[in-house]
């Protein structure tokens, strides 16, 4: 067995090739209609959330370079369960991606909408392994009331360290100037949180998002507790 070099103090930004190679290891893990049906997981879990049709499943397929890993469709409401995908080389899972059903789909009954909103909020607020959220948003619609409600619901967890990225999808539908405007408006709305542009069609932002997810899933190791000998000497 080879010995791994000691982990550096801070995880360096990985090469895009390394991050994309890691994303490509994604495989289907499980699917569930309710939070309590999901297995407990002891690696970082990164959830993809947003309005129906925002491009969540397409984004997962693009990042993992797999055409049909997540179900993407022209028809809104395609994803109806929480689908988990495992990531990691040599079959060793070191992170999980969660593809969530979208909200705000008009053609769904009121009861179904409310039921799903409850499942999703429970998931976002209670899922222990959840360490990061990617909120996908079509910049032509901007952050809607439902997106804002989601931001409010997860704010305490974000303040406690949960990672959060707003990804503006379908960038290929916007001119450069429109992209710049959408980015600055959304940055204001997201209260200074991280916001990036993404296009599955043009592969815009793919490397950067893969690198960010890799960093999120491989946080720098906590510094070892100080031993007696190298702690501050007592004041005389």
Could you list the residues that contact ligand GTP (CB under 6 A)?
Answer: 50, 52-58, 72-74, 76-79, 101-102, 169-170, 172-173, 199-201
Which of residues 79, 169, 199, 211 is near Mg ion by CB under 5 A?
A: 79
Q: Which of 26, 49, 55, 57 binds Mg ion (CB under 5 A)?
A: 57
Among ligand GTP, Mg ion, none, residue 169 binds (CB under 5-8 Å by kind)? ligand GTP
The DSSP annotation for 85-103 comes to: EEE-GGG---EEEEEPPPB
Q: Which stretch binds Mg ion (CB under 5 A): 51-59, 138-146, 205-213, 215-223?
A: 51-59
What sign does the dihedral 67-79-193-223 (CA atoms) show?
negative
Out of ligand GTP, Mg ion, none, what residue 132 binds, judged by CB under 5 to 8 A for its kind, is: none
**Nearer to Mg ion (CB atom), residue 21 or residue 76:** 76
List, in order, residues 6 or more apart from 99 with CB less than 8 Å away: 48, 56, 57, 60, 70, 79, 82, 83, 85
Stretch of residues binding Mg ion (CB under 5 A), selected from 74-82, 103-111, 135-143, 186-194: 74-82
CB of 48 to ligand GTP, least distance (A): 8
Widest pairwise Cα distance in the chain: 74
The distance of closest approach from Cβ of residue 1 to ligand GTP in the complex, given in angstroms and rounded to an integer, is 41
Q: List residues bridging with 85 in a β-sheet.
A: 28, 97
| DSSP codes, 189-223 | HTTT-EEEE-BTTTTBTHHHHHHHHHHHHSPPPPP
At residue 45's C-alpha, the angle toward residues 43 and 48, to 5°, is 165
In the bound state with ligand GTP, the residue whose beta carbon lies nearer, of 54 and 212, is 54
Q: What minimum distance in Å lies between the beta carbon of 129 and ligand GTP?
A: 21
Strand, helix or coil at 164? Answer: strand
Residue whose C-alpha is closest to residue 70's, from 43, 31, 33, 40: 31
Which of 79/129 has CB closer to ligand GTP? Answer: 79
Q: Is 169 in the site for Mg ion (CB under 5 A)?
A: no
Q: Which is nearer to Mg ion, 98 or 210 (CB)?
A: 98
Residue 127 binding result from ligand GTP, Mg ion, none, given CB thresholds of 5 to 8 Å by partner type:
none
């Amino acid at each position: 067995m080879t010995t791994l070099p000691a982990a550096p103090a801070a995880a360096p930004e990985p090469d895009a090739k390394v991050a994309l190679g890691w994303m490509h290891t994604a495989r289907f893990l499980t699917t569930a209609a309710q939070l309590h049906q999901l297995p407990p997981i002891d690696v970082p879990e990164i959830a993809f959330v947003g309005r129906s049709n925002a491009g969540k499943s397409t984004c997962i397929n693009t990042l993992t370079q797999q055409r049909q890993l997540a179900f993407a469709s022209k028809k809104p409401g395609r994803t109806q369960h929480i689908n988990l995908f495992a990531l990691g080389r040599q079959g060793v899972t070191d992170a999980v991606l969660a593809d969530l059903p979208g909200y705000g789909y008009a053609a769904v009954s009121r009861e179904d909408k409310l039921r799903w909103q409850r499942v999703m909020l429970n998931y976002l607020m209670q899922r222990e392994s959840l360490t990061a959220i990617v909120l996908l948003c079509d910049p032509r619609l901007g952050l809607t009331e439902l997106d804002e409600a989601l931001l409010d619901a997860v704010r305490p967890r974000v303040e406690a360290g949960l990672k959060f990225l707003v990804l503006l999808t379908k960038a290929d539908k916007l001119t450069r100037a429109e992209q710049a405007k959408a980015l600055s408006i959304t940055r204001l709305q997201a209260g200074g949180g991280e916001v990036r542009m993404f296009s599955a069609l043009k592969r815009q932002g793919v490397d950067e998002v893969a690198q960010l997810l890799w960093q999120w899933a491989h946080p720098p190791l906590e510094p070892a507790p100080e031993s007696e000998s190298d702690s501050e000497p007592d004041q005389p």
